[in-house]
Structure 1
């Protein structure tokens, strides 16, 4: 029974596909070897979650993922007493399960959670490597292999949703971004199951959107969006329809913005 929406992936012999851009793999392995927590920062859809999945599989460790949100409480992470069969029993939260099992615990979009909730990770992110469970009056030491990973998008967060310095300074930071064109083409072709020429056109469009000035976009065309468009193309949808559904309409509800994006699509995508 889980206390919050979490996703558990057991260690597998098959490592999820991830194409490194820099030395992020080496930094992550070194941090894991020393038990140092990792902070991933980068734009939405650039591959942060896939990177953690790939590294957990490479290290042969279970991965427990939780998405941060404003209603999250410390009990959602640590655990709480619940009524089961007429008895009150303690049920570990996903963080406590990861600490006991020596798993990789990934808290995605950490700044979406309240700051009074995320401070619960502080004792796990320094030399103590332990989790106080106040309701049980005990402290759970991190089992060998436990690794704490958090992520956020610096460009998207407002001043009111920034990462506290007392949290940030406990972590080894890895900055991820959209990959160079050649690597992004390879990733999209592999993930979407399309040919490299089609993937290259999608990447050209994605880079053009990322470089647009003068229109109001909270986010730009991510690698994830381009993969979704590629997947629709692989299912037989025309490139224009695929891009319109997976990219243009997903980026904005503003008609003027969509019109400008549509003109860009017309200029780049071949007519079917």
Structure 2
């Protein structure tokens, strides 16, 4: 079955304003093709993907690591979704939930649409909005409608913060029912593309916050829970995270990578214990590394190297409660030892 589609062929002439200009400018979604799973760093099989070129395909981050079990489950979810299900990916802040879905899409050349859930969100915001133009009011499809119509992954970040009414609106779409857009009258019926997939991320598994750290997470009702595959994602094992650092920044001193990860895991531990009000996300780890490289020769007014301290502030601790900031810096001094004052350039 070909996925080759001309965008404008699917839009009634009276409603050519329904899709933003950048959507119509890219005429071909692309056709199906088998993608070797070596693109995930795990050769030996294939997964359905698309020809490259769609502007909504994310940029590949070559250093990204795909957890094997989660990748296996997600590939199965992508390939066969007869059950009309979404995929709920949950875990602590900063474990890389959105990055997993984004990088999966990047490897198979699938369009990726990202939205953020919040208590004030209504589903119509993601379906169709009215834009004023020189020719008058025109309806414009939102990310949900575009993903349903043309295929790809719609990722709802912080989905456990949505109100029940917004989540309930997704039920019929997940089950394969047409998406009806009243603004388009009798032309506003969109049937889900065979490769439309809905991913939701959150800090809880849909059963509410049981840790006390994410009190703004809502509990899902049973009807919503029954429509999602649920998988937990955790921080990377230390040795894998060290490899990610060195792949992302080849010039970074190898001796420092274990120290960075050790510090990050200490902060994460204290966050989970409720001691410190911050965590060290994988994104922040790479930001810390980048600023260590930038400030490798940084010295303070006394001539003492302060590059690591400056990098830590820029990556994480600036703006924190001062007692927490000092505690993290004191722990960093213990972890990095002499390098804290000698500077990364002297490793």
In the alignment, structure 1 residue 82 sits paired with structure 2 residue 149: no
Match of 1:52 in 2: 101
Equivalent residue for 1:27, pick from 59, 73, 80 = 73
Q: TM-score, normalised by structure 2?
A: 0.68
Equivalent residue for 1:263, pick from 330, 338, 341 = 330
Match of 1:248 in 2: 317
Q: TM-score, normalised by structure 1?
A: 0.85
In the alignment, structure 1 residue 145 sits paired with structure 2 residue 202: no
Shift of 1:119: 2.4
Q: Distance in 2 between matches of 1:72 and 1:201?
A: 41
Shift of 1:215: 6.0
In the alignment, structure 1 residue 163 sits paired with structure 2 residue 209: no
Count residues in correspondence: 264
Shift of 1:105: 0.8
Cα gap change, 1:9 to 1:25, in 2 (>3 Å): farther
Relative contact order, higher structure (CA 8 A, sep 6+)? 1
Which digits, 9 at most, give the CA deviation of each residue in 1:125-146, with x for residues without a partner?
23x2532334445442111211
Aligned-partner SS, 1:151: strand
Cα gap change, 1:223 to 1:12, in 2 (>3 Å): closer
1:68-217 alignment runs, 5 A limit: 68-126=117-175, 128-136=176-184, 138-154=188-204, 156-158=213-215, 161-193=218-250, 194-212=252-270, 216-217=275-276
Equivalent residue for 1:65, pick from 107, 114, 121 = 114
Contact 1:125 1:171 in 2 (8 A): no
Contact 1:68 1:112 in 2 (8 A): yes
Cα gap change, 1:124 to 1:157, in 2 (>3 Å): farther
114-123 or 140-149, larger mean C-alpha shift: 114-123
Q: Distance in 2 between matches of 1:117 and 1:105?
A: 15
Q: Distance in 1 between matches of 2:217 and 2:148?
A: 30
In the alignment, structure 1 residue 225 sits paired with structure 2 residue 273: no
253-262 or 196-205, larger mean C-alpha shift: 253-262
Which digits, 9 at most, give the CA deviation of each residue in 1:156-199, with x for residues without a partner?
43266333332222111121110110011111222344233222
Contact 1:131 1:142 in 2 (8 A): yes
Shift of 1:100: 0.8
Q: Distance in 2 between matches of 1:265 and 1:103?
A: 42
Structure 1 gaps, min length 5: 3-7
238-247 or 188-197, larger mean C-alpha shift: 188-197
Shift of 1:33: 1.1
Aligned-residue CA RMSD (Å)? 2.6
Which digits, 9 at most, give the CA deviation of each residue in 1:217-259, with x for residues without a partner?
3442222211110011122342222123312236xx2222222
Cα gap change, 1:163 to 1:180, in 2 (>3 Å): same
In the alignment, structure 1 residue 235 sits paired with structure 2 residue 297: no
Contact 1:61 1:145 in 2 (8 A): no
Shift of 1:40: 0.7
Contact 1:226 1:246 in 2 (8 A): yes
